[in-house]
Structure 1
Amino acid sequence: MSTPPAQSGLLTERIARQLEHDIRSGALEVGVKLPSERELATQFGSSRNVVREALRQLEAKRLIEVAPGRGSFVREQSSEQARGYDALYRAERPTVRQLIEARLPVEIEIIRLAAERATDEDLATIRAAMETTESATDVITKARADLEFHDAIAMASGNPVLRIMLSSISGMMFEMMLRSNSDPSIGEPGVPHHPEIFAALEARDAESACARMREHLSLGLRTYGPDLDVQLDTMARRHIETLLGEGRAG
């Protein structure tokens, strides 16, 4: 079964999210062998390549162990893994509004420092992420580049504590970016986006950079509508299903 490239990334995210949820909730217990790639592909209506990529994501998160010739098994989670920041955040069922409220003070301080401290190499990395976001034709690539853009600014701040703080919510940010990078209303005229933010950074204008980042992050407060106060996980799951449905209809 061949999956169109535009759909494969979304299917990968859907499968990985569902399996991760099942593992973390205990629906798939430690030691349980996952269905084969063929069975998972049939279950999720995808190709085996898509399933394989989803399993790689789970393996990278140390949620499963892949035994060559035997299959994939749910790993036992250490207390450190079980209490990872992402798991702690999600246990509180945060909404989109709450994520935006958290990002505002952190990223405004990050960009203020970046405007003062960014090296030429930092600026080149930020520019590359910005250009990838602008040129990407599928939502998964756009969202990943969007995340890299914000992470590169955090790196340029020269403050590892702030970068780690931002990294701790990167999973939730990615889910929000899936929506933002496929929502026409996000293209609202006059709203500062990555090029305007980058221009302020390049000019070493900390005040302008902070103002543009604030406006950029606050856009969701005006455009997410009813989704603003929906649990982030729920919003992301619904949006992935919507995008997949649009892809099939197209």
Structure 2
Amino acid sequence: MSAATSDAQPGTPPEGRARPAVRGLLTERLARQLEGDIRKGALAVGAKLPSERELAQQFGASRNVVREVLRRLEAQDLIDVEPGRGSFVSERSSGSVRGYDAVYRAGRPTVRQLIEARMSLEVEIAGLAAERADDTELAVIEHAHVRVLEAPDVVVKARADLDFHDAIAAASGNPVLRVMLSSIGGMMFEMMLRSNSDPAIGEPGVPHHAEILEALQQHDVELARSRMREHLALGLRTYGADLDERLDVMATRHLDTLLRQSAAG
């Protein structure tokens, strides 16, 4: 469904009244829709996007949410914002489509496949971080862990969760591994939106961060590897039928569910 024909999310708060948690979800949902339309070619290079007012009406979002989404797309080189004229799909977007994230998504990866890839990558990262992390790097990891625990809503928590894993990659002392992890960051974020808002997944997973941090602080390489492996393997036991669902389909469906629940609440 293209942005030009998308319907507003049912039951979403009217203009300017969305609660912060709902606003974050709406921002993610609208950004996913527009980015998907651009990457799939439903919005061609040079095409003009609907106006801020039209997008706000279509998605049941505030103008501030729409502006935030447009800023994000502009930062990704997907659109050009021309004052007084509107927003247009950028010629640079064709290059952005060839980025790592787009290449991965072209293969329509499943949740299981992402978990398998993360286990191969992050277990090694955790071991290296346990061996090499200095006090400053450990403090950054701990700060990210605290932000996960104190996050006011699921979007903020998912971003803090991503930062936690990135901080461990930085502490590994291997910039190649960190870039490799960063290249799947968009897909990891989608998983984290689900895992941090589904009690069956999120609650058992939270203590794992503390346990991983403890192993890193003790510079216990094998314990750090083991705890990271257990943390990531949790998804294989808790995602159920969604394990073999396409990641993008699962993420969009879950975002829509969260929006409905927020509106109903």
> For this structure pair, what is the TM-score category when the shorter chain's length is used for normalisation?
over 0.9
Which residue identity does 1:136 align to in structure 2?
Answer: A
Matches within 5 A, 1:1-250: 1-2=15-16, 3-77=18-92, 80-187=95-202, 192-250=207-265
Whole-angstrom distance in 2 between the partners of 1:63 and 1:36: 16
Whole-angstrom distance in 2 between the partners of 1:227 and 1:77: 34
Corresponding residue of 2:11 = none
Show structure 1 runs of 5+ residues with no match. none
Give the conservation status (yes or no) of the 8 Å contact 2:141–2:164. yes
Which residue identity does 2:89 align to in structure 1?
Answer: V
The change in CA–CA distance for 1:212 and 1:6 in structure 2 (over 3 A counts) is: same
Whole-angstrom distance in 2 between the partners of 1:4 and 1:199: 36
Give the conservation status (yes or no) of the 8 Å contact 1:147–1:170. yes
Which residue identity does 2:148 align to in structure 1?
Answer: T
| Shift, 1:128, TM fit | 0.8
Whole-angstrom distance in 2 between the partners of 1:162 and 1:35: 40
The change in CA–CA distance for 1:188 and 1:143 in structure 2 (over 3 A counts) is: closer
Alpha-carbon deviations, 1:151-200, whole Å to 9, x = none? 00000000011000000000000000000000111255598511111011
The change in CA–CA distance for 1:79 and 1:29 in structure 2 (over 3 A counts) is: closer
Give the conservation status (yes or no) of the 8 Å contact 1:197–1:209. yes
Give the conservation status (yes or no) of the 8 Å contact 2:79–2:90. yes
Percent identity for Structure 1 against Structure 2: 70
- TM-score of the aligned structures, taking structure 1 as reference length: 0.97
| Shift, 1:80, TM fit | 4.3
| Shift, 1:56, TM fit | 1.2
* Aligned CA-pair RMSD: 1.4
- TM-score of the aligned structures, taking structure 2 as reference length: 0.91
Whole-angstrom distance in 2 between the partners of 1:78 and 1:53: 18
Which residue identity does 2:193 align to in structure 1?
Answer: L
| Shift, 1:119, TM fit | 1.2
Give the conservation status (yes or no) of the 8 Å contact 1:30–1:74. yes
Give the conservation status (yes or no) of the 8 Å contact 1:191–1:215. no
Show structure 2 runs of 5+ residues with no match. 1-14
Which residue identity does 1:240 align to in structure 2?
Answer: L
Number of equivalent positions: 250
| Shift, 1:97, TM fit | 0.1
Which residue identity does 2:66 align to in structure 1?
Answer: V
Whole-angstrom distance in 1 between the partners of 2:210 and 2:162: 15
Whole-angstrom distance in 2 between the partners of 1:234 and 1:220: 17
